Amino acid sequence: MIDSISQKDEELFRCIKKSSSDIKSRVDFKMTRKKSPSENLPLNMMTKGTVMYKVRSSSKWYKRKYKVDIDNMKLFYSPSTKHFWTSTIARASKCIPVPPEDLSIVSIRYLIEVRKGWNTDVFQKLQTRFRRNFQRALHPTLISMLKEENCFSLVIAPARTIASGSKLDNTYVVDLIAPSMEVRDAWVRGLNQLIACSKIEDAEQRWLIDRIREADVNGNGSLNFEECLGLLKQLNIGMRRSEARKLFDKVKIDGQDALGPEEFIRLYRILNHRPELEEIMKKYSASHSVLWDVEELKAFLYEEQHDFLSIEDCKDMIEEYEPEENKNSGFLSLEGFQKLLTMGQEDIFNKRHRTVYQDMTQPLTRYYIATSHNTYLIQDQLLGESSIEGYVQALKRGCRCLELDTWDGPDEEPIIFHGYTLTSRILLKDVLEAIKKYAFSVSQYPIILSIENHCSVPYQEKMAYYFRTILGEYLYTDCIGENEKEHPSPESLSKKIFIKGKKLKDELMMSEECHFMLEEEEEREEDLANALASAPTPPGEGDEIIPTLMAASSQRKRIAKELSDLVNYFSAKRFSSFEECKNSWEFNEMTSLSETVALNLGCTQGLDFATFNKKHFSRIYPKGTRTDSSNFDPCPFWNLGCQMVALNYQTWDKFVYLNEAKFAQNGRCGYLLKPEYLTSDKISYDPNKPPYQKRQINVTIKVVSAQYLPKPPCASETDIVDPYVSIKVVGHPADQTKKRTSFISNNGFNPVWNETCNFVVNAPEQAIFYFCVKDQNITSNALIGQFALPCSSINEGYRHVYLEDCRGQKLEKATLFVHVQMSESEQE
């Protein structure tokens, strides 16, 4: 809690007051952002506004005028009347007006992506109807506009959208039709410019201006004392009313009983003073001051941060981070030091690991591969929606193994959905178009399409045709060489897509009567039938499915030669025993196991399982009873060396979060080298025992402080958090442990702990450090923010940990400040 204004605060206040004129010249309540040149035609067009159609479905279009407020970086529409169109109305050539609704707003910085063309579920369905002469039902004006070159879509971050006052939980897509291709291209270009600007502007000032604007209840451009108190509470600053009033009066410069934006920013700077940074600077200053010359900066970077920089590099850093008026002084001030630590490359995650740094020339079986289960689902497993967006988002998150659950559909088209359930359907060809577009947008390394094939032979032939024609040169169709004994490397298979599925035996290729049970089918369908029987579905809806499902689990199905020919390095085979695999399986044959079966094998035959994974692929998928799309703990299977641990990417639980953390390294390319003891034939490794390594890692983390912690979603407006920090190590069972700090009462703005946690790590290649900040509460300790990263990616020294919410979205400005030391010691 902040109880008084110290002498240091007084000194800081005097320094800030001297530069008040400079602040005033740079801060305006409307916005400090530099406006784009008048000749920027896309931005000029967007500020004036454009009438476009928002498409919610093939039968619902909304005519709206979209505009951009560049000063406030907002996209909004506010129609005088709201029109909607349906096929019935179109036939009558009528539009029905609806009274105006609340202003709808989207902040530019929450736009994830602007997509050209028909590349969302809504547009894909619209495209399908258009192919079926759907345009006959359209008004002539709409026919002229409904072209792919006129269409674009906005993908908006989860829980960041304000639409009629409500927050949405999932990624939100707005599909728009512009009046022409030129207008569409101008909007796409302009929005992309604004997205880029929002990422590089002064984050702290932008954040603070937004908070001031929100607190200005009466909208007069200044904050009275009560509004100021309210904003302090919003910023999680616990402060006595008398002390707040004293500080309020000190920063006023115009005599009015209110603070303008520049005055509140001065108040904020005083409260934002960080004495822990002062102590660091004094330690490395010959004069024990908060001013460093180049040599002192170099010494700090070398001794604490383990960064080996030249004098010239250090000079460049001073010029980059020191305030404008001091750039040529040759010294780094406290303000410059704070910017260096928060805005530079000094965060806890090793920047080298944000690029591909591992050896990518080893056989594929030596890598963990980011893998998705039932990729097409974006909700639960029984009633949820199937969507191409599931594939797009998985690929953009670095996923390299996608699942396609194919069935016979209407109009002789293969479809994808979760069979024998009430999930919606999507076309295979639409999915493949999306995969082709986004396949290598994040990573160049190979993609594996795991096919759960339920199609009849004619549909399988059409599947094979689509794989070849849509994926084109990306599809790897070469046969395995006679002398090949192991998989090729990710590097050698750059930008290639593989089909994983059943393959006919060579001697049976000519037989038209061969029948083969499809991979996973028996166990998965029996699992799903049991799940349906116990799941809370509407009365009667699952009754007809269950008998069909149980019968299907015992059927044998044929596989088309055209589809079999596309399977090469990922030939799916039913697992019987490790002995059989060792004696008769080819190197390209692999298996898929449910988490239950795999966990049992790991406990009872761990050594054999780990040995199997050195040569063959194994894919682990969630048991069928996880109808809510929950996930299992992937760590036990990574410890076994299982390459493809398939998770429900749509569910942001702690296990998906750990998966994201593990694959964040190596440039988020979707491939990670397994530890040597899980790849070398010379090492016999039992995953139920700690791996024998000569050295262990000792990690000491001092939790110094936190900054700008938000309130948990469940907190009331008057609550101020009581934060504490927990640090958990997950990975090998021998390393799993958890430490925590004490809690700080009523301070989420700048709590200070200075508490130390010690860890001993035996298997650092598998260890993930999981930071959680929670609010101490009698009933429940709500999550404030979190961050996880691999042990091997941790930077030593004084580092900021940038906190994220439960869906992996970065929390604005919320950080932990820690000091990390790592050392090696001999194993006993």
In angstroms, what is the C-alpha Rg of the chain?
Answer: 30
Question: Predicted confidence band at 564 (pLDDT cuts at 50, 70, 90)?
Answer: very high
* CA-CA-CA-CA dihedral for 769, 770, 776, 781, to nearest 10: -150
Give the span between the Cα atoms of 410 and 823, in whole angstroms.
Answer: 63
- Digit-coded pLDDT (tens) for 249-259: 888 877 778 88
Question: Predicted confidence band at 340 (pLDDT cuts at 50, 70, 90)?
Answer: very high
Strand pairing category for 172-177 and 401-408 = unpaired
The CB-side HSE value for 274 (13 A sphere, CA atoms) comes to: 24
**What integer is the mean pLDDT of 303-314?**
94
Residue-level pLDDT at 528: 52
Please choose, from the candidates 624, 608, 749, 799, the residue with its C-alpha nearest in 3D space to the C-alpha of residue 234.
749
Return the top range by mean pLDDT from 99-108, 596-605, 717-726.
Answer: 596-605
Judged by DSSP in three states, 566 sits in coil
Residue-level pLDDT at 378: 84
**What integer is the mean pLDDT of 126-150?**
69
Residue-level pLDDT at 289: 87
Question: Predicted confidence band at 346 (pLDDT cuts at 50, 70, 90)?
Answer: confident
Give the span between the Cα atoms of 336 and 317, in whole angstroms.
Answer: 9
Lowest mean pLDDT among 235-244, 338-347, 593-602: 235-244
- Digit-coded pLDDT (tens) for 703-738: 999 999 998 887 777 788 999 999 999 999 999 999
Helices 225-234 and 241-251: angle between axes, nearest 10 degrees? 110
Q: What is the mean pLDDT of the chain?
A: 82
Residues contacting residue 177 through CB under 8 Å, at least 6 positions apart:
52, 53, 55, 61, 145, 146, 150, 151
What letter does residue 386 receive in the DSSP assignment? B
Letter string b/e over residues 392-403, b meaning 16 or more CB atoms within 10 A of that residue's CB: bbbbebbbbbbb
Q: At residue 752, does pLDDT exceed 50?
A: yes
Cα 771 to Cα 702, 730, 802: the distances in Å are: 12, 11, 10
More confident of the two residues 210 and 567: 567
Residues contacting residue 72 through CB under 8 Å, at least 6 positions apart:
30, 31, 213
Residue-level pLDDT at 503: 93
Give the span between the Cα atoms of 213 and 207, in whole angstroms.
Answer: 10
Domains of the chain plus CATH, in order, are 38-80+100-201 (2.30.29.30), 204-252 (no CATH), 276-344 (1.10.238.10), 364-534+546-678 (3.20.20.190), 695-826 (2.60.40.150)
pTM of the model: 0.79
Cα 778 to Cα 84, 199, 567, 711, 782: the distances in Å are: 50, 39, 57, 16, 10
The CB-side HSE value for 480 (13 A sphere, CA atoms) comes to: 21
Residue-level pLDDT at 170: 61
Q: At residue 522, does pLDDT exceed 50?
A: no
Catalytic residue IDs = 373, 418
For residue 778, the Cα-to-chain-centroid distance in whole angstroms is: 32
Lowest mean pLDDT among 151-165, 405-419, 490-504: 151-165
Beta carbons of 512 and 601 less than 8 angstroms apart: no
Question: Predicted confidence band at 828 (pLDDT cuts at 50, 70, 90)?
Answer: low
